[in-house]
Every structure is written in structure tokens, then in C-alpha cells.
Chain A
Amino acid sequence: MTRRVPTRRELLGAGAAGAASLVALPATAAAATATTSGSTSSQQPLTETERLQRLIGLELLLVYCYRYVLSSSILDPGTRRTLTPFVDHERAHIDALQTHLTARGGTAPPGPDSVKTANRYLGHRDVAGRLGQLKGSQDALNLLLRLEQTTIGAYFVALINVNDTKLISLVCQIMANEAQHDAMIGLSMPKGTPARAVPYGLVQGLQ
């Protein structure tokens, strides 16, 4: 059964207790250090190639999840119209990232090829909700929202660690675009308003 996804407001409240927060709320020094390095102390920091592979992996998961949700009859027509262009946006992100990855001699990871694989990846990313178990529009939007926020978080960490200025520019442009997706998903929620869709002054996503 699908676990209820906490609202962003709940996440914000939980941030004080050290839970993952959408905006950077009270974080321990240890958490800040882990964020800075992008890895735990026992691991080597990722190379730019590995980081690009990780970002592309997330984008491929986003594409899979958007396509899954859009091909079902879960969403109302208005929300479907809003979200449909996002698939092409994510594809464009993958293409741009792949150009940088290829220049470094790396190869893109495979995307999920089944619902089971996608759900496994969602689990690895601590994204609540599973494809095939979505009970309605709100479940689907919550899953996509969490995945977009996780992706924003991955770009935030990348900005800390990447040094190539062209790649930094690209990461900023994509991170801001994912934040726009996040806002539009928020606006598409029941009782969504512009104020509720952009509830925080600083957005660094979920890590």
C-alpha cells in the first residue's frame, strides 16, 4: 500500500528534528559536511563523470515516472496538459548532460525498463509512493513532486562539487527548471494556489 507522502509543510516542520527538508532547515554540522562532500566520510567524493551519471540516472527515472503517470488515466485533463511538456524538458536535460558526460569519456546509465525497476530506484532515493500502487491524482502528484525535489537536491549537491563553469551554468539552468516543475505540480494539487505552490524562500531540494 502506498505510504502517505508528507506535505512540504510537514517536511518543513520535521526539518527541526533533522528530517530531510525541502529548504535547508536546521541541519546538523555532520549533515552539512556530508552535503558538502556529496558522500559519506567513508566514501570518496564522486568524480564529475560519476556525478553526471547520477544526474542522468535521476532524469531517466523522472522521464519514466512522468510517462507512466501521463499514460494512465489518473490525472485530470488540465493537469495532464500542464505536465505533458515536462517529459520533453527532462529529455532535453538528459541530452545536455550526456554531451558533458561523453566529453569526459563516460557512458550514460540505463534508465528503468520496468515498473519494478523504477520502483526499486524510487526506493533507493527514499521517494515515497510506488508506480502501480497510485490511488489517484494526489498520489501521483505527490510522487512526482518528491522525485522533482530529490532531483533538485542532486543538482544542489552537484553545484557544491562541480568546478567546470559551463557545467555549473547548465546545472543552474536545469535546477531552476526542476524548481519550476515543482511549483507547477504544487499548483496542480487540490486547493493549489500560487502562494502554496511556492511556499519557501530558499529551495535546495531533498537530499
Chain B
Amino acid sequence: MVSGDRAPSRRALLTGTGTALAGGALALAGCGSVATGKKAVKKAPMPLRRRDIAILEQALELERRTVSAYLACIPLLTRPQRKAFRQFLNEELQHTGEIASLITAGGGTPPPRADSYRIGHPTDGPGALAVIHSLEALQISSYLEWIPQLSPGPVRAAVATVLTVDAQHLTMCRVLQGQDPVPGPFVTGSA
């Protein structure tokens, strides 16, 4: 069911995230994990750097798709849910910034954003939560596959700081969906 509250437009959501994004960028600039990760990716031998950049480009695409999904889904949520998910959207935007900065540090260029992303067609709150849930789970399973392939340790650790937050987002989705929030001891992103 679509919330009766006035749902914010995508433009309003993006504008609203502007300030937070700037704050996120500031935090990122001095961020120990990113700074250390950037240094490490710069120093990595070229073949390893190319492989890392290819992985990070995939990660960036997935983060952008998730941002797209949040933008489409937030207006369908209830007012209290919107408040939380607007913050989660800011955090996902911060992830895109993190990944893009690692690509740039490695000598790559972040690929251009796609015109649109396939995110399904949610029409109500539960549908929106299901879409976000599935994308957060996909991000987690992808990062679990990618992180061991990244070569310098600090790059792995920097990317893992994104994984941890996606795992927290998934937990909050599960809470709002009435599911077991932490169903097992090992996060796999399978559901």
C-alpha cells in the first residue's frame, strides 16, 4: 500500500541528500580506510591494479543500481520508514563515492552512470522493501565474492567497510519485513 503521507519526489530526495553527501565526502576525504586503501591501490603492481579496478567498476555499477532502487522505492514507504531509508540512501551514495575514489586512485576512470537500471516495478511499501532487500543481499554476496580477489590488504579492508553497512541495511530491512533480523552467524547475502 502506498503511504498516505506526501511522498517526496526523486528530485527532493536527491536535493536532500546533497548536504549529507557533502558531509560524507568530507568524512571520506579524511577517512583512514579510504586513504590507506587509495595509497595501497596506487602502489600495487599494474596487473593487480587493473584487476582491482575491473572489480571496483562492477561494484560501482551495483552501488549505483542500488541508489536507483532507493530513489524509486522510498516514496512508496511509510513516513517513519522513509526517514530511515533516506539515511540509508545517503550511505549508499557514500559507498559510490568510496568505490569511485578507489578506482580513481588506481589510475582508472569511474565508468559513466547508466541511463537507467533494472530494479523491478514495486507498487507498494512491501514491494519496495522486497526490492531493497534483494539488492542489499546481492551487494553482500557480490562483495563476499570480490573482496578476496582484491590484492592489497588496505583495499580489501576499505571495501569491507561498505560490506558491513550493507549487512546492517539488510538487517534493518528484515526487521521492517517482520523477518529474523540476524538469521545466522555468517553473513552470506543469500536472503
Contact B36 A32 (CB under 8 A): yes
29 pairs from A and B in contact (CB 8 Å cutoff): A23-B27, A24-B34, A24-B35, A24-B161, A25-B30, A36-B153, A88-B185, A96-B186, A156-B160, A160-B156, A161-B153, A168-B147, A172-B143, A173-B187, A173-B188, A176-B140, A176-B163, A177-B182, A179-B165, A179-B168, A180-B182, A183-B172, A187-B172, A194-B172, A198-B87, A198-B88, A202-B33, A203-B161, A204-B157
For the complex, is B133 an interface residue (Cβ under 8 Å from A)? no
Report if A89 contacts B (CB, 8 A).
Answer: yes
A93 to B186, CA, bound (A): 8
Interface size on A, residues (CB 8 A): 57
Number of A-B contacts (CB under 8 A): 174
Contact residues on B (Cβ < 8 Å of other chain), bracket: 35 or more
B95 part of interface (Cβ distance < 8 Å)? yes
The interface of chain A, by Cβ under 8 A from chain B, is 23-27, 31-32, 35-36, 82, 85-86, 88-93, 96, 152, 155-157, 159-163, 165-166, 168-170, 172-177, 179-184, 187, 193-195, 197-204
Known: A88-B185, A160-B153. Is A24-B164 also a contact (CB below 8 A)? no
Let me know if A198 and B169 touch, CB within 8 A.
yes
CA distance A155 to B98 in the complex (A): 20
- Complex-state Cα separation, A8 to B83, whole angstroms: 19
Interface pair A194/B176, CB less than 8 Å apart:
yes
Q: Is B161 in contact with A89, judged by CB distance below 8 angstroms?
A: no
Asked if A202 and B168 sit within 8 Å, CB to CB, the answer is no
**A187 and B30 in contact, given A36-B36, A36-B154, A177-B187 (Cβ under 8 angstroms):** no
* B182 close to A181 (CB less than 8 A): yes
What's the minimum C-beta distance from B183 to chain A, rounded to whole angstroms? 9
Give chain A residues whose Cβ lies under 8 Å from the Cβ of B148: 165-166, 168-169, 172
In the complex, what distance in Å separates the CA atom of A201 from the CA atom of B17? 13
> In the complex the two chains form, is B35's CB within 8 Å of A198's CB?
no
CA distance A88 to B185 in the complex (A): 8
* A32 to B185 Cα, complex, angstroms: 30
Residue on B nearest A173 in the bound complex, by CB: B186
Q: Contact at B33–A195, with CB atoms within 8 Å?
A: no
Residues in A with CB closer than 8 Å to B168 are: 179-180, 182-183, 197-198, 203
Contact B165 A204 (CB under 8 A): no
Residues of B within 8 A of A162 (CB): 153
B31 is an interface residue with CB less than 8 A from chain A: yes
